[in-house]
Amino acid sequence: MSFLKRRQEEEQMKQNHRLPPGQSLTHKFPVLTYSPNPPFDPATWDLRVFGEVENEMRWSWAEFLEIPTVTITTDIHCVTRWSKFDTVWEGVLFRDFMKLFGVKPTAKFVIAHCDYGYTTNTPLEAMLDDDVLLTYKYDGDWLEPDHGGPLRTLVPKLYLWKSAKFLRAIEFSEVDKPGFWERGGYHNTGDPWKEQRYQRSGWF
């Protein structure tokens, strides 16, 4: 077998191992939003944190940009069956962000609230991983509105609908509160490696 052929096969094996079941690789970056992109005015935009926290807080855009960031490279997986490898994101590490206001031990779920009413729920535990961000830069540039700019959550270990675009508030809750797609029939957890795509309780 030629050197090149072997390298190609190795690459393929690597990709197969990285691709969750039922997914295919894309080099594009598809856009999936049920709403229009919200207008963004840096003078009036804010991000709020509320619920089971020690201090409910609010950041203006300028204040939010003061928070230290990290940059990560990660694979992302959409329930519509595309995956994209090695995407690069800069943002605030969620578990560091939590130290700014303190989370009460009663908090068990994180609910992301977005412009136009999109919500998505995630167990707090899943938000503590070292790849969960509040992100505003993609591939070195400001996050485009199509991909959730100015600010979105990034939870790469779950299907991408759990990564909330146009994020405006984060709720820490004692009880689970299924979000927009979760109420619509998407799986409540959404682990791509377990193919947790849909559950039968929703509107389809």
Ligand X SMILES: Nc1nc2c(c(=O)[nH]1)N[C@H]1C(S)=C(S)[C@@H](COP(=O)(O)O)O[C@H]1N2
By the criterion CB under 5 A, which residues form the site for Mo ion?
A: 32, 161
193 binds ligand X (CB under 6 A): no
Minimum distance of ligand X from residue 58's CB (angstroms)? 19
The answer to whether residues 78 and 147 touch, using CB atoms and an 8 Å cutoff, is no
Minimum distance of ligand X from residue 172's CB (angstroms)? 19
Query: Closer CB to Mo ion, residue 32 or residue 88?
Result: 32
Query: Closer CB to Mo ion, residue 32 or residue 175?
Result: 32
Query: What residues between 43 and 72 interact with ligand X by CB under 6 A?
Result: none
CA distance 50 to 52: 7
158 binds ligand X (CB under 6 A): no
Strand (E) positions, the chain? 24-25, 46-51, 57-60, 70-77, 82-93, 109-114, 119-123, 133-138, 141-142, 152-154, 167-173
Strands 82-93 and 24-25, bridge-based pairing = parallel
Among 30, 73, 81, 130, contact with ligand X (rule: CB under 6 A): 30
113 binds ligand X (CB under 6 A): no
Is the CA virtual torsion 139, 143, 144, 146 positive or negative?
positive
Binding residues for ligand X (CB under 6 A): 30-35, 78, 114, 118, 147-148, 160-161, 163-166, 181
